[in-house]
Amino acid sequence: MSFRALLWALGLLVAALFAASLLIGPAGLSPSDSLAALIAGRGEAAALVMREIRLPRAILGALVGASLGLSGAALQGYLRNPLAEPGLIGVSSSAALGAVIALQTGLAGAFALALPLMALAGALIAVLILLGLAGPRGGALTLILAGIALSALAGALTSLVLNLSPNPYAAAEIVFWMMGSLTDRSFTHVWLALPLTLIGWALILPLVRGLDALTLGEDAAAALGVRLARLRVTLVVGVAACVGAGVAVAGAIGFVGLIVPHLLRPLVGARPGRLLPASALGGAALLLAADIAVRLIVPERDLKLGVLTAIVGAPLFLHLIYKTRAAQ
Amino acid sequence: MSVFGRTSRRMRALAAALAFGLCAAQPATAAPQRVVSVNLCTDQLAMLLADEGQLVSVSFLSGDPRLSAMPARARDYPANRGQAEEVFLMRPDLVLAGTYTAQASVAMLRRLGIEVVEFAPARALSDVPAYLERMGRLLGREEKAGRLIAEFEAGLAALRRAPEDGPRAALYSANGYTTGQGTLSDDILSAAGLRNIAAEVGRAGGGPLPLELLVTAAPDLVITGARYPGASRAEALLDHPALAALMADLPLRPETGGDWVCGTPHVLKAIAALSALGDALEAP
């Protein structure tokens, strides 16, 4: 399959899952009623359901999924390490800590964009620590160990902040921040996440040529005219922006950035640059599918998205560790 | 033989001590003198019924006006958090708990030899007189309980309306939690002449109601829970634009409060307030 055909196929898959996400829900509207309500605003209650409940949920699923897929592919390309993934190396949980601090200190109440910005700050600190520890070559072991420590610390601090909250419901939401969910998210959240998400994508997507050149090694890439320091800064800020924005509204959803690049890598001829747009589309498709699944499996229980992505992703992660070990 | 004789003498002393102990304990079991309540609802029943000085401490939740119908009264008592150690140090001769009180704490208190009585959460208005009667008996205050029961039944009879064609109301609190048939809140709604939409969407008992279903049911009245400080996703749901759009057309926005939570005579206040709202809605 040519690269262009692959992108078309993934695009169609995302569109189909987006439509399915709009049509599935407890209100049990028929597809024709749903579309009439969505497009023409027919039927007061149905229009509310379609435009204010299901549409923002589907949009967020696509946005956050694309961010996670894209960030995973970019981090793996830069570090030349297939285990790098925002959830696993603690970037998402640090972003969640930033978001929780913004919410519980009242910062987000005073200034709405403080929520994604604080999440960005959390993610930024995590990426900087990781790259500082693992170095530009991203030794697999250092990266994963540092990631485990960061995840544990950020998770514990998130729990601490939520336990100290005067709100009795806050402590019960630890699982949301660690597992992620799109239940009952609204356009308020879309508008909160959208600006930083787009900035993040705009920073990462142009890195195609640089990441391709890096496969030849740093010296060769530099000889080809790639400015490595600049590539690194752009990547760090881009990943922090789009992961931070996603986590701020949907919690930390793990493994999307691991599964998607792994599945798509053979289809793009193992070129990290081409993997970027493909993984963005693949991530959107995976998260939309997971969000449809949580609504179909146990609609009453608000199953968290991270539960499904981990059930698929963790065995794959173990498989990758096994392969990495065998290669050494 | 001498060993045997000494043992039997010791046994006799022990038996005597035991008998004395039992006799001494007899008046205490008749009416407990130091009662500690560790549950929001037993707190209020005890505050309504206990004699002067009989109730030693109530739970910290009873001071919270969002949950308790008697926050001011509760602040007259030292508050406890229901942990076995602090309760034990109050030297209670009776501990009042809910059936959902932390089981580890209740079991520990029983191990330490303290009598613990558990009350299940009220599920209907008919539980109110039964609970008053039981609490009255436990505290040796049957007479006061009888008086409160008579007052409650007269008050309820005066307020009660037929819910057949009253306004359609939805209970919707944090996490989209709603309560349907078989709950105290549902009974309060019907006594006030309101119809609970939980029945229309096939919900009995308590549980989350998807926002989609609430919006499509389009009730005449949405009764939400009181808000807490700090932020939570659970309560952020109450700010959802779809709910705001639904509420924009509704003139009244009542909140549940302490009067709703427990099976005490205070539920009459909740019923009276709701009836007034129902009248305001029906008025052209």
Looking at A73-77, A186-190, A266-270, which range is the least confident one?
A266-270
Domain match, B243 and B124 both: no
Looking at A54-63, A97-106, A172-181, which range is the least confident one?
A172-181
* A105 touches B at CB < 8 Å: no
User: Is B234 a member of any domain?
Assistant: yes
Alpha-carbon gap, residue B44 to B131, rounded angstroms:
11
pLDDT class of A76 with cuts at 50, 70, 90: very high
User: Is B178 a member of any domain?
Assistant: yes
- Is A157 a residue whose pLDDT tops 90? yes
pLDDT of residue A275: 95
Which residues span the domain enclosing B270? 162-282
Chain A CA closest to residue B240? A186
Residue of B187, B63, B57 whose CA lies nearest to B122: B187
User: Is B5 a member of any domain?
Assistant: no
User: Is B248 a member of any domain?
Assistant: yes
Alpha-carbon gap, residue A64 to A180, rounded angstroms:
11
Q: Is A255 left (phi over 0), alpha (psi -120 to 50) or beta?
A: left
What domains sit in chain A, N to C, each tagged with a CATH number?
Answer: 3-21+60-327 (1.10.3470.10)
- Is B18 a residue whose pLDDT tops 90? no
What would the mean pLDDT of B4-22 be, rounded to a whole number?
46
Strands B177-179 and B206-208: antiparallel
Domain match, B177 and B273 both: yes
Domain match, B194 and B258 both: yes
**Among candidates A48, A166, A169 on the partner chain, residue whose Cβ is nearest the Cβ of B234:** A169
pLDDT class of B22 with cuts at 50, 70, 90: very low
Asked if residue A34 lies in contact with residue B223, where contact means CB atoms within 8 angstroms, the answer is no
What would the mean pLDDT of B227-238 be, rounded to a whole number?
86
Domain total of chain B: 2
Write the pLDDT tens digit of every residue in B106-120.
Answer: 999 999 999 999 999
ipTM (interface pTM)? 0.75
Average model confidence (pLDDT) across chain B:
87
Residue A250 Cα, gap to closest chain B Cα (Å): 11
Domain match, B34 and B130 both: yes
Instruction: Give me the long-range contacts of A315-318 (CB less than 8 A, separation at least 24).
Output: A316/A255, A316/A258, A316/A259, A316/A262, A317/A83, A317/A88, A317/A255, A317/A258
* B53 touches A at CB < 8 Å: no
pLDDT of residue B6: 46
Domain match, B91 and B198 both: no
| Residue after which a domain boundary falls, among B126, B157, B188 | B157
For A75, counting Cβ atoms within 10 Å of its Cβ (0-12 exposed, 13-18 middle, 19+ buried), the class is: buried
Write the pLDDT tens digit of every residue in B63-100.
Answer: 998 899 999 999 999 999 999 999 999 999 999 999 98
Average model confidence (pLDDT) across chain A:
91
| Residue after which a domain boundary falls, among B135, B157, B179 | B157
Contacting residues of B for A166, CB less than 8 Å apart: 228-230
User: Is B11 a member of any domain?
Assistant: no
A30-to-A35, A274, B59 alpha-carbon distances in Å: 9, 39, 50
What would the mean pLDDT of B222-245 be, rounded to a whole number?
88
Domain match, B240 and B277 both: yes
* Residue B33 DSSP class: S
pLDDT class of A251 with cuts at 50, 70, 90: very high
pLDDT of residue B284: 61
Express as a percent the part of chain A with pLDDT over 70: 97
Domain match, B252 and B195 both: yes
- Is B27 a residue whose pLDDT tops 50? no
| Residue after which a domain boundary falls, among B157, B192, B214 | B157
User: Is B145 a member of any domain?
Assistant: yes
Q: What are the DSSP E strand ranges found in chain A?
A: none
Domain match, B130 and B111 both: yes
Looking at A105-109, A300-304, B13-17, which range is the least confident one?
B13-17
Q: What are the DSSP E strand ranges found in A28-108?
A: none
User: Is B1 a member of any domain?
Assistant: no
